[in-house]
Amino acid sequence: MCATQLEDLFGEISDDESNVTDNEHHVNNSRSKLEVYEHSQIAGLWCCDIAVPPAQQALLEPQLRRFFVPNLGQNQAMRFGQELLPPSHECRALLETATAMLANLSSEVLQHRDPAFDQLIANHYGPSEGIVAHTDLPRFEDGIVIFSFLSTRIMRFVMISQPHTQIDVVLRPGSCVCLSGDARYKWTHALEISDDLEELIFDKNTNEWTQFPKEERISITLRKMKPNQIFDMKENVYCEYRFTIPDTL
């Protein structure tokens, strides 16, 4: 990624490394070792099991919680523009990781779009909360990146043309997925809404089922709006943050 692209995403970047902290070096080194793969059964679903290392997750958590006001029931936040996250090293690394996910896509247009993202939606889920099956709205371009934090949950993908075809994808803390092509348009995705206190997950490495406690989860979704949608959307958003109940997709 060139310096111009990074500056468009994160603002001015200095070449002076004398002020770089040990933590930032750790973030940069971890990010350079991303292991990204395409799901074997869902074309266009790119996955990274450890997109955000545990140390970075711990630093990000209090920053991400500032999106929400739990005592007012505000569990979703939207933000538009190029300053989508606080200007911390950890948040800058998160955006850069999301942009790196686009590099795996076959479309050069998606790989080099500028800016890579201009819309963010943050969701906070309680243990019994989820989201109904959906595809992201057509006002957003292809190439949608979703980060998961705090707990392990299952995201269920259902093929629209064959609803009996269902694939469960395990989202662990610090994992990331990118929806493009078929995964973006031909499959719905959802999180189960139930009062069950545990999630049953199949571990393909051990060929065994494991029960995980259902705990709170934070997700960060980064998207790019289509050009003809930007003006209309901004007309409807007065505040920098917009809070709604998480059935708004």
**Tens-digit pLDDT profile for residues 26-75:** 334 344 467 899 999 999 999 999 999 999 999 999 999 999 987 777 89
Lowest mean pLDDT among 95-99, 131-135, 177-181, 202-206: 202-206
Return d(Cα 176, Cα 165) in angstroms, integer. Answer: 23
pLDDT of residue 22: 39
pLDDT at residue 202 greater than cutoff 70: yes
**DSSP class of residue 160?**
S
Whether residue 223 contacts residue 117, with contact meaning beta carbons closer than 8 Å, is answered with: yes
Return d(Cα 77, Cα 72) in angstroms, integer. Answer: 13
Domains of the chain: 39-132+140-150+171-185+215-235 (2.60.120.590)
Whether residue 135 contacts residue 185, with contact meaning beta carbons closer than 8 Å, is answered with: yes
Return d(Cα 178, Cα 46) in angstroms, integer. Answer: 5
pLDDT at residue 174 greater than cutoff 60: yes
Lowest mean pLDDT among 57-66, 194-203, 212-221: 194-203
Return d(Cα 202, Cα 199) in angstroms, integer. Answer: 10
